[in-house]
Structure 1
Amino acid sequence: MASPSAFSGDVVFAVRRRQPELVAPAKPTPRELKLLSDIDDQQGLRFQIPMIQFYGHKASMKGKDPVQVIKKALSQALVFYYPFAGRLREGPGRKLMVDCNEEGVIFIEADADITLQQFGDILQPPFPSFDELLYKVPGSEGVINCPLLIIQVTRLKCGGFIFAYRLNHTMSDGAGIVQFLNALAEIARGACEPSIAPVWRRELLSARDPPRITCTHREYEQVPNNYDPIWTQQSITHQSFFFGPKKLEAIRQLFSPYNSQYVSRFEALTAFLWRCRTKALQLEPNEVVRFFCINSIKGKSNPPLLPLGYYGNSFVYPAAVTTAGKLCENSLGFALELVKKAKAEATTEYIQSVADLMVIKGRPCFIMPGSWFVSDTSRLGFRDVDFGWGKALYGGSATAGAGPFPGVSYYVACENAKQEEGMVVPFYLPLNALKRFVQEMEQVLGQP
């Protein structure tokens, strides 16, 4: 994929880094092999995902160094979350497992000659000089035999700091990593142990014996060349959009004529953006397009399928499938019904069927051509993670995309300069399509 565009604010700053080091658990931990679930180790999750948290200055923390506080807490947190200090191995049938060998998490200490204010009115991707805020340690970016977690804490001139990290996605989903971050933060604030004990239990989302596919999984359909040609263009750009409360309500009102039932903010925003995005790409009318609804199955069964403290991947992404012509020519209500249908398919039986499919079909990747994924992380609590300096000013995804696939957007809870709560949504799109995307949104909403 072509390189994303430069930061629009033209912010330039220098970062001084110390040599990366390995942080191991503070006490001896069990030496063992722990199998991942058959949801964890599918091909589509075998990548590292970058995340970022911004924190402001806090007068009551004067004299305390966030780097040292977090590094010490990390070694203590790894006593409880010791698999993060291990390394992945691959067994027969491409089965992934964690070698819990206490090798450690990569930790980087840094200083930057910039203040939080210089990042702009709204903290949102793309962030300036992000590779400086999360250094790509040589040899660390793989999946097998590589660090499972890389953390960089960068002090800022204003007294704030940035906590950036890269997670091997096979280990945890958004809810799982927030659970770990809260454990780390609790210990940083003085706790002896996490308030929620971590639970491994990955066998709960492993294939049945014998495995059997009981649902239709259009997200894993096989195609001759599983790559979308739009990403071969040279002018791929990265931009985020902020949707404040007034705009979110205006979008939801667009759907009032189509459905007398309740329409959630997620459903309205997603149907609106999917249709605008598809129109902007100017695809052939008969070209197949897919929307993938990343949907956790936690809380969807009684009794719960997964225990409190489970921090593995626990989501599926059922696909809504149509053609570009149908999506663009029909009303917004057509897109809404497709989104609702995909969202409703995420049941406990569906996730069990996915686990079985992984074993039967060799852990395939999702289908990429014509696909757009949405992951709503706005309610996971990234901004609530408090290392002692208060809640994060921004917390969540550092970029759009997922590993080598750019067609993923995240809904991130955010606050603008007017202190209005809303959502930031990052996109990767060809430059010309991005311009048409903005025009389409403005035309439908009747506002800039």
Structure 2
Amino acid sequence: MARTLQPTPLAFKVRRSEPELVAPIKPTPRGYKSLSDIDDRYGHRFLHPIILLYPYSPSMEGKDPAKVIRDAIVKTLVFYYPFAGRLKEGPNGKLSVDCTGEGVLFIEGDVDVTLQQFGDSPLPPFPCMDELLFDVKGYGGILNCPLFLIQVTRLKCGGFIFTICHNRTMGNATGLLQFMKVVGEMARGALSPTISPVWERHLLNARTPPRVTYAHLEFDQEFMDMNDDDITQPNNMVNLSFFFGSNEISTLRKLIPLHYQCTTHIILTACLWRCHTKALQPDPDQHIRRICIVNTRYKFNPPLPLGYYGNSIAYPTTVTTTDKLCRSPLEYAIELVKLTKGKATEEYMKSKADFLVTNGRLGLPLNRWSFLLSNLT
């Protein structure tokens, strides 16, 4: 059985500066840039917080991490200038960036806490997140708001915490990582990014005329109608972390034949899906879904440009019944996971864009009968 890991209890207050708008250091192009039809679906219209922890480093002696990062961001925004703009909504819910150059929100702070006080392996839910990512008045919407809120908090030990909240319509984790890598390069003195950003959002737009060639079970109306399920409400859910080390994975592999080939991610997904379903004790004929999260940037021919930083995630889905999943050998669940991931092709993404445009830019219907697991390794 996997070990349950509890978050470290800790309380503190951050002494912070007033939020400021940080604009590109040089003039940048003005005008409107349309998001793709994958970017602007309603399921992407939320703010995504990320927290990064940095221990003390002798190389930072005498340097202020907040100043280093702030200076790097104003240089990075010259290349990623749409991030300094504001989202606008046009007819039929279509989103565009008004490249105003206004900038992103930046806060710096200090706290009398050391990194060691968070424990050896800090886990979500992270303590005092509202202190490390201050709720700025006027920020928090999707439209007409800064697209980033960044806070750098200096720690008593000489380390620091870098927290960032970004508008998810502008890109998924891969795009954010690309932006962050450039911030790192600029902080180390680079004059331009190693990989230049590429907008090219038209590559993931719907076709003319739209041609929906997949069923797109991720948006199945059957599961839309069940979205009011009380079990999935935040006040009825518990946030815990579980650690699956080599011993736990070895135990899971004993559940399948020796000659059977599958990755650690796939066997873990299959096992967790079955455990999740059994715990709910549904009727044998209940329809349940496995939703995969697949980065499709390399599924295209040719692949999406290396510097593309828009949303490129597919959510291929397979539906089965409780009885089939729980009574069949584990290989049944494994093969369903493989089959689901394999659906994420270039044609699948084009069909998805066509589906979203013709069906109103839907969000994913998530409830207790839907199992979604993301691999961020």
Q: Same fold (TM over 0.5)?
A: yes
Q: Tell me which amino acid in the other structure corresponds to 1:357.
A: F
Is the Cα contact below 8 Å between 2:7 and 2:124 reproduced in 1? no
Q: Find the counterpart in structure 1 of residue 361 from structure 2.
A: 363
Q: C-alpha displacement at 1:339, in angstroms? A: 0.8
C-alpha separation in 2, matches of 1:206 and 1:101: 24
Is the Cα contact below 8 Å between 1:252 and 1:263 reproduced in 2? no
C-alpha separation in 2, matches of 1:148 and 1:241: 33
Q: C-alpha displacement at 1:261, in angstroms? A: 4.6
C-alpha separation in 1, matches of 2:119 and 2:212: 49
The answer to whether 1:76 aligns with 2:71 is no
Is the Cα contact below 8 Å between 2:51 and 2:162 reproduced in 1? yes
CA distance change for structure 1 residues 328 and 229 in 2, over 3 Å: closer, same or farther?
A: farther
Q: Find the counterpart in structure 2 of residue 30 from structure 1.
A: 29
C-alpha separation in 1, matches of 2:359 and 2:110: 47
Is the Cα contact below 8 Å between 1:226 and 1:367 reproduced in 2? yes
C-alpha separation in 2, matches of 1:221 and 1:184: 40
- May I ask how many residue pairs the two structures share in their alignment? 369
Q: C-alpha displacement at 1:14, in angstroms? A: 2.0
C-alpha separation in 2, matches of 1:276 and 1:324: 11
CA distance change for structure 1 residues 51 and 252 in 2, over 3 Å: closer, same or farther?
A: farther
Q: C-alpha displacement at 1:120, in angstroms? A: 1.4
Q: Find the counterpart in structure 2 of residue 193 from structure 1.
A: 192
Q: Tell me which amino acid in the other structure corresponds to 1:156.
A: L
Q: Tell me which amino acid in the other structure corresponds to 1:238.
A: N
C-alpha separation in 2, matches of 1:250 and 1:189: 45
Q: Alpha-carbon deviations, 1:75-124, whole Å to 9, x = none?
A: 11000000111111111111011011112111111112211111112122
Is the Cα contact below 8 Å between 2:289 and 2:371 reproduced in 1? yes
Q: Alpha-carbon deviations, 1:228-269, whole Å to 9, x = none?
A: 331237442111122223323433443335xx4520111111
Q: Alpha-carbon deviations, 1:22-65, whole Å to 9, x = none?
A: 11111110111000001101111111111111111001210011
Q: Tell me which amino acid in the other structure corresponds to 1:109.
A: E
Q: Find the counterpart in structure 1 of residue 241 from structure 2.
A: 240
CA-based RMSD = 1.6
CA distance change for structure 1 residues 15 and 75 in 2, over 3 Å: closer, same or farther?
A: same
Q: Find the counterpart in structure 2 of residue 228 from structure 1.
A: 229
Q: Tell me which amino acid in the other structure corresponds to 1:348.
A: E
Q: Find the counterpart in structure 1 of residue 3 from structure 2.
A: none
Is the Cα contact below 8 Å between 2:296 and 2:313 reproduced in 1? yes
Q: C-alpha displacement at 1:227, in angstroms? A: 3.5
Mapping 1:314-325, distance limit 5 Å: 314-325=312-323
What are structure 2's unaligned runs of at least 5 residues? 1-5
Q: Find the counterpart in structure 2 of residue 401 from structure 1.
A: none
TM-score where L is the length of structure 1: 0.79
The answer to whether 1:269 aligns with 2:268 is yes
Structure 1 range deviating more: 227-236 or 336-345: 227-236
Is the Cα contact below 8 Å between 1:289 and 1:322 reproduced in 2? yes
Q: Find the counterpart in structure 2 of residue 327 from structure 1.
A: 325
Aligned-residue identity in percent? 52
C-alpha separation in 1, matches of 2:186 and 2:250: 39
What are structure 1's unaligned runs of at least 5 residues? 1-6, 379-448
CA distance change for structure 1 residues 256 and 117 in 2, over 3 Å: closer, same or farther?
A: farther
Is the Cα contact below 8 Å between 1:173 and 1:313 reproduced in 2? yes
CA distance change for structure 1 residues 252 and 310 in 2, over 3 Å: closer, same or farther?
A: farther
Q: Alpha-carbon deviations, 1:173-216, whole Å to 9, x = none?
A: 11111000000110001111110000000000001111110112
C-alpha separation in 1, matches of 2:111 and 2:42: 36
Q: C-alpha displacement at 1:292, in angstroms? A: 1.0
Q: Alpha-carbon deviations, 1:417-444, whole Å to 9, x = none?
A: xxxxxxxxxxxxxxxxxxxxxxxxxxxx
Is the Cα contact below 8 Å between 2:37 and 2:357 reproduced in 1? yes
CA distance change for structure 1 residues 204 and 233 in 2, over 3 Å: closer, same or farther?
A: closer
C-alpha separation in 1, matches of 2:202 and 2:234: 42
2:105 partner SS: strand
1:238 partner SS: coil
Structure 1 range deviating more: 59-68 or 330-339: 330-339
